[in-house]
Structure 1
Amino acid sequence: MAEAIESILSQTLADFEFIIIDDGSTDHSVEIIESYRDSRISLIRNGANLGLSESLNKGFGLARGEYVARMDSDDVSLPERLTRQVAFMEAHAEIGICGTWVEIIGEPAGHVWRYPTAPDVINCMHLFGPALAHPSVMMRREMLAKFGTLYDTSFKRAQDFELWVRASEYTSLANIGEVQLHYRRHDQQVVHKEEQLVFAGKVRLLQLYKLGIIPSPEEFKIHQSISQWRFEVDRGFLENTEKWFSKLIDTNKRVKVFSETTFSEVLCDRWFEVCDALTELGPWTLKKFFLSPLSCKVKLSWRRRVAFFLNCLLFRRRG
């Protein structure tokens, strides 16, 4: 926690209020917070454990600044984070929520999550999952107050995903294409993975309903698997994925919920990712990919194209 606090106090943008909410901690968190003598810090102690959604809503209710940024107690903001985000929001009045790329610390460390930066791509990516890193976001407080958009307390998990999708109905979302946060991975995230899948699934269903699609149990199972990168090494799975993506693209062409061009590109890119993960099926996957209409908008570097080709052939040889 000390590292997280110090990363905020050492920001190059120094004019801010620092609201820290202690949600019923039983460790030495409060002692650590109280050890800092900085007038910008306001420690708020919940009388009982309220959970993340209610604690965040409480923090937003107390905030007075034009912008509200958030971060978890085990993450680290880079020194320029607030400066960069405020400058971006000042230059882009249409953006209501702004995130950044993040670098993973903990186990495994060093990987960078490069989220999409363009609002229309973000909207399309939300069909599968959150396209902003929750601890990295900055939001316009006036926007939250005007539309009454806070975290839905019925969502124990995926509350950020639900908020992003709901907020995108009246504002644009963007990411700054540079790392401004170090995000810590830990075992507790794995413990809640199945619960996360359930709540995130509810948000995905709302997106599908917006398209006018009520998926069958089989279709939704495919969609959940694709969203969670849980692929079955099976020809039937890949064939069903192709049918499902084609249905999504054809439906959006009719109802025009998402940008038609961007939506097709996002789905086609995801089609390649699924095929690339199933190279164990050998040359059949290679043939399936290149013969599918979904492949026409996939933009692959020659290195990735060659790697995909070779991986399919190598699995044939191993078999």
Structure 2
Amino acid sequence: MSTPFSLLLPVYRGDRADHLARSFQSTVHEQVRRPSEVVVVQDGHVGPELASALERLESASPVPVRRLRLKHNVGLAQALQCGLSACSHEVVARMDADDISLPHRFAVQLPLVEAGADLVGAGMREFGESTPVAGLLRVPPTDPAGIAVEARLRSPFNHPTVVYRRSAVLQAGGYRELPLLEDYWLFTRMIESGSVVANLPEPLVLYRVDAGSYQRRGGLRLLRSELGLQRRLRAEGFTSRAEMARNIAVRGGYRVIPVGLRKSLYRNRFTIEAGTLGETVEREAGPLGHRQDTQSCTRPEPRLDTRPGAGRELA
């Protein structure tokens, strides 16, 4: 029998209901190999439109949906950690609430996990509002040695594409708070702890970008997270002193340069041009119904929302 797996989907008040509906439709209804369950983590209060969309999605889902309602917004890292504890299965797939999975995503990723991989990513294709053609392609390294080398400068995985073993994530310490860089930090710890990692070059996720995407990749707040990440990677022995110095100069500098230059560097360094998709990626998600399925998770005291474009950092 095929390995059962959970889909982990965090949602917070900054997400759009129509984007969430499309994401859910593509990652559940349209999949050749569907998840066995969906764990939706509602990170704090959401508005009525988003709450209504969640209820309709749960009602119409062809697989069981569990929604964890966190009383307060705790940030992406803690929301994901809480969600992991609620997943019924060892294998977990990640998805963001505004991206789109291609129909064969899990059909090609799960066999690698079943063959022994602990963490499997894939390529992804960028798209924007009402874009009927392909955007830029982001193709990750596929050789395990290349993944390890790349991880010492930038994330070797496109985080919206990953499927992993929960035990490997927990062995590496799970998700830890580091605004916009949580996934990258987790991946380095998984590599360091001996996880078997793999990437598929094929784009299996359409990654949504908007006018503010390049703005969010910089600024003082993200620079502080960047410096914190580099200190942690050095303290953990993942990078050398020379690599830390290089990363602070290269990655830190990237956070403070003008947005136009940042956009140009990102496109030239990390992506390649793609051809047409063949059909519009934005379309109606279809009729949705209604259901309630509530769980709770004890969390810390209220926090300020730290997630403009939560978890969207890639470079």
- Letter matched to residue 180 of structure 1: L
Q: Which residue of 2 aligns with 1:165?
A: 188
Which among 46, 52, 58 is matched to residue 25 of structure 1?
46
Contact 1:128 1:227 (C-alpha < 8 Å) held by counterparts: no
Q: Which residue of 2 aligns with 1:302?
A: none
Whether 1:6 aligns to 2:42 is no
- The SS at the match of 2:39 is strand
Tell me the CA shift for residue 46 of structure 1.
1.6
- The SS at the match of 1:35 is helix
Q: Which residue of 2 aligns with 1:101?
A: 123
- Letter matched to residue 71 of structure 1: M
Contact 1:11 1:82 (C-alpha < 8 Å) held by counterparts: yes
Whether 1:43 aligns to 2:67 is yes
Contact 1:129 1:200 (C-alpha < 8 Å) held by counterparts: no
- Check 1:207–1:191 CA distance in 2 against 1; reply closer, same or farther (3 A cut): closer
d(CA) in 2 for partners of 1:40, 1:156? 31
d(CA) in 1 for partners of 2:155, 2:196? 14
Q: TM-score, normalised by structure 1?
A: 0.64
- The SS at the match of 1:150 is coil
- The SS at the match of 1:168 is helix
Tell me the CA shift for residue 193 of structure 1.
2.5
In proportion to residue count, which structure has more helix?
Answer: 1
Which among 27, 36, 39 is matched to residue 16 of structure 1?
36
Count of paired positions: 228
Which among 62, 68, 82 is matched to residue 92 of structure 2?
68
Which among 198, 222, 227 is matched to residue 249 of structure 2?
222
d(CA) in 2 for partners of 1:129, 1:220? 9
Question: Unpaired runs of 5+ in structure 1?
Answer: 232-271, 274-319
- Check 1:221–1:97 CA distance in 2 against 1; reply closer, same or farther (3 A cut): closer
d(CA) in 1 for partners of 2:248, 2:172? 33
Q: TM-score, normalised by structure 2?
A: 0.64
d(CA) in 2 for partners of 1:150, 1:216? 23
d(CA) in 1 for partners of 2:138, 2:50? 28
d(CA) in 2 for partners of 1:204, 1:129? 11
Contact 1:161 1:203 (C-alpha < 8 Å) held by counterparts: no
d(CA) in 1 for partners of 2:217, 2:148? 25
Contact 2:150 2:156 (C-alpha < 8 Å) held by counterparts: yes
Q: Which residue of 2 aligns with 1:79?
A: 103
Contact 2:222 2:255 (C-alpha < 8 Å) held by counterparts: no
Which among 193, 196, 202 is matched to residue 228 of structure 2?
202
Alignment of 1:270-285 (within 5 A): none
d(CA) in 1 for partners of 2:225, 2:136? 26
Contact 1:161 1:200 (C-alpha < 8 Å) held by counterparts: no
- The SS at the match of 2:98 is coil
- Letter matched to residue 39 of structure 2: I
Higher relative contact order (CA 8 A, sep 6+): 2
Whether 1:213 aligns to 2:234 is no
- Letter matched to residue 142 of structure 1: S
- The SS at the match of 2:67 is strand
* 1:185-234: CA deviation from partner (whole Å, max 9, x where unpaired): 134542462233332333334445635427897x6653335766969xxx
- The SS at the match of 1:2 is helix
* 1:46-73: CA deviation from partner (whole Å, max 9, x where unpaired): 2111111111011101001121111110
Whether 1:112 aligns to 2:140 is no
Question: Unpaired runs of 5+ in structure 2?
Answer: 1-19, 259-267, 270-315
- Letter matched to residue 14 of structure 1: R
d(CA) in 2 for partners of 1:166, 1:176? 20
- Check 1:120–1:26 CA distance in 2 against 1; reply closer, same or farther (3 A cut): same
Alignment of 1:242-261 (within 5 A): none
Tell me the CA shift for residue 175 of structure 1.
1.0
